[in-house]
Amino acid sequence: METCGFSTYRGIPVDKIVTPLDASTALRRITDQIDKHKGALMVSNYEVPDRYSRWDIGFVNPSLELIARERSFSINALNKNGQRLLPLLQEVLEGHPHLESFTATPNALQGVTSPMTGWFPEEERSRQPSLFSVIRAIADLFRSDEPYLGLYGAFGYDLVFQFEKLEQRHTRPEDQRDCHLFLPTDLVVVDRQKELAYSICYRIYTPEGWTEPHLNTGTTFPMAFGRADGAVQCDHNEGEFEEKVQQIRSGCQRGDFFEVVLSQAFSADFDSTPLTLFQRLCERNPSPYSFLLNFGQEQLVGASPEMYIRVNNGRFETCPISGTVPVGEDAMETAERIKNLIGSAKEESELTMCTDVDRNDMSRICVPGSVKLLGRRLIEKYSRLIHTVDHVEGQLAESFDAIDAILTHMWACTVTGSPKPIAMQTIENLEKSPRRWYSGCVGFLWFNGYASTGMTLRTIHLQEGVATIRAGATLLFHSDPKAEEQETRTK
């Protein structure tokens, strides 16, 4: 065990306790509890040179959680450590100019952000009153050079309604959340390349005293099981999705938009556990962004192939995916399908448009001339699907950070369309149900400025014994309705 101390930029003393673990069993302390305790398990078990490496990060019983819906937010203490940390957060949030109201209790801080007023340039999104004002205040409070200490969780699709003037056509469920983030002070980290593992405990000094190591809340959340009978329900009737593809084709012909990504939802009763499902996904479909998030009354289990944003020392990256074919029955058939994918003008057009939008997004907040394409139509092969991928990077300008990167890219063209505003309004008009977590992002924002997030794709939402998954298709004028409907089912 090794202990070292450091201070945040604002002078908060922190002790860091690092304990080596056996890499083969390190995550057991997480997996033994995560089905019934709040926490997260994030795994990258897909390796691509210069893009993805293999690592695991997990925790249970975090100190704090940040939950938001529309303009309202709540920061909840989940144990004594959280109660000790709340006064530090209260000090930076009370009287914040971006908050319309704010209240504090020993167990929670709650508030409402001020409404946005008037027009603002895209690059100033994070300077507007929003949930990200709260996130930035927390990040600034704990900012240091230390990795791993940060916020972990998920950002939902509806966050975009805080920044775009879009009309909501669907009633949102009362229990829907737009954001759910954890602040853990105990984590397990595994480097799969070096086969090294260790636990990290942060003891943070607060006006109420030091936070404690390895504090277990004892709070559990019993799983709700469905009576699984194999029946899968779709939120579209037969032929309905194909009709919508035709509507998008007509809109493209009129010039309303270039492309739109429409999705449909599939649901079934679920009688297993989140961990069992997660382990099956990791085994059958290794991905750069595999995750299990237990939010208490709902869980997210995913194996996403697509980066949303990554920021490291000011380097801002995205890896848009567009173009998909199934893996063949053998190597020869797979090679032929890859050849057809690479030769498809339609698939090339889809990815080109998505990458152009990414480059435009980046250019708003990056050093002029720094945005460039690192890889073009690269092949990424997963267990059942093959994708074409571009790799884009830029250097953030001095006044911008990872929060700006998340906001300027909201949400990726690969899950919305182009131009984004009209594409997102079309999604709201034509899809049968709110997207909730789908096509948002999952990952972490460390207080040292590093961020790694994956698109919330290939993700199963578990709630009250029901498993729901959404899948979409990128639609252009040249789209074939039957083929696009089948693509959503293939995914």
* Confidence at residue 227, expressed as pLDDT on a 0 to 100 scale: 58
Between CA 270 and CA 467 the distance in angstroms is: 6
* Confidence at residue 327, expressed as pLDDT on a 0 to 100 scale: 93
**pLDDT confidence band for 54 (50 / 70 / 90):** confident
**pLDDT confidence band for 226 (50 / 70 / 90):** low
Q: Give the mean pLDDT of 192-204.
A: 94
Q: Report the DSSP beta bridge partners of residue 459.
A: 302
* Confidence at residue 478, expressed as pLDDT on a 0 to 100 scale: 84
Q: Give the mean pLDDT of 207-226.
A: 73
Task: Give tens-digit pLDDT for 281-331.
Answer: 999 988 999 999 999 999 999 999 999 999 999 999 999 998 889 999 999
* Confidence at residue 217, expressed as pLDDT on a 0 to 100 scale: 63
Task: Give tens-digit pLDDT for 473-482.
Answer: 889 888 888 8
Single-letter amino acid, residue 180:
H
Residue with tokens 């949930």: 131
Task: Give tens-digit pLDDT for 120-136.
Answer: 777 788 789 999 999 99
Q: Give the mean pLDDT of 384-394.
A: 94
Q: Are 26 and 188 contacting, i.e. CB atoms less than 8 angstroms apart?
A: yes
Rounded to the nearest angstrom, the gap between the alpha carbon of residue 185 and the centroid of all alpha carbons in its chain is: 21
Q: Give the mean pLDDT of 186-204.
A: 94
Between CA 351 and CA 73 the distance in angstroms is: 36
Higher model confidence: residue 379 or residue 47? Answer: 379
* Confidence at residue 228, expressed as pLDDT on a 0 to 100 scale: 57
* Confidence at residue 229, expressed as pLDDT on a 0 to 100 scale: 62
* Confidence at residue 221, expressed as pLDDT on a 0 to 100 scale: 63
**Could you give the angle at the alpha carbon of 83 between the alpha carbons of 82 and 88, nearest 5°?**
85
Domain ranges of the chain: 2-218+264-328+348-490
* Confidence at residue 50, expressed as pLDDT on a 0 to 100 scale: 76
DSSP characters over 375-398: EEEEEEE-SSEEEEEEEEEEEB-T
Q: Whole-prediction pTM value?
A: 0.94
The structure tokens listed for 10 are 């604002």
* Confidence at residue 486, expressed as pLDDT on a 0 to 100 scale: 80
Average confidence score pLDDT of the chain: 92
* Confidence at residue 215, expressed as pLDDT on a 0 to 100 scale: 63
Whole-number percent of the chain with pLDDT over 90? 79
Task: Give tens-digit pLDDT for 435-482.
Answer: 999 999 999 999 999 999 999 999 999 999 999 999 998 898 888 888
Whole-number percent of the chain with pLDDT over 70? 97
* Confidence at residue 49, expressed as pLDDT on a 0 to 100 scale: 75
CA diameter of the chain: 66
- Give the long-range contacts of residues 346-352, CB within 8 A, separation 24 or more: 346/476, 346/478, 346/479, 347/322, 347/323, 347/388, 348/323, 348/377, 348/388, 349/476, 349/478, 350/259, 350/322, 350/323, 350/474, 350/476, 351/320, 351/321, 351/322, 351/323, 351/377, 351/388, 351/389, 351/390
Q: Are 351 and 412 contacting, i.e. CB atoms less than 8 angstroms apart?
A: no
DSSP assigned state of 36: T
Ranked by mean pLDDT, the top range of 215-219, 236-240, 325-329, 392-396 is: 392-396
Rounded alpha-carbon distances, angstroms, from residue 177 to 72, 142, 155, 158, 340: 10, 25, 9, 9, 41
Single-letter amino acid, residue 133:
S
Q: Give the mean pLDDT of 421-428.
A: 96
Task: Give tens-digit pLDDT for 64-84.
Answer: 999 999 999 999 999 999 999
Rounded alpha-carbon distances, angstroms, from residue 318 to 52, 158, 457: 12, 21, 15
DSSP characters over 291-308: EEEE-SS-EEEEEE--EE
**pLDDT confidence band for 89 (50 / 70 / 90):** very high
Q: Which 3 state secondary structure label does DSSP give 170? A: coil
For domain 2-218+264-328+348-490, give the fold: Anthranilate synthase (3.60.120)
The structure tokens listed for 169 are 């056509």
Q: Give the mean pLDDT of 178-199.
A: 95
DSSP assigned state of 452: E
**Could you give the angle at the alpha carbon of 215 between the alpha carbons of 296 and 14, nearest 5°?**
115
Q: Are 262 and 248 contacting, i.e. CB atoms less than 8 angstroms apart?
A: yes
Q: Are 257 and 417 contacting, i.e. CB atoms less than 8 angstroms apart?
A: yes
Between CA 338 and CA 343 the distance in angstroms is: 8
* Confidence at residue 482, expressed as pLDDT on a 0 to 100 scale: 85
Residue 216 predicted with pLDDT over 70: no
Higher model confidence: residue 46 or residue 372? Answer: 372
* Confidence at residue 331, expressed as pLDDT on a 0 to 100 scale: 94
DSSP characters over 186-238: EEEEEETTTTEEEEEEEEEEETTEEPPTT-------PPP-----S--EESS-T
* Confidence at residue 224, expressed as pLDDT on a 0 to 100 scale: 60
Q: Give the mean pLDDT of 140-161.
A: 97
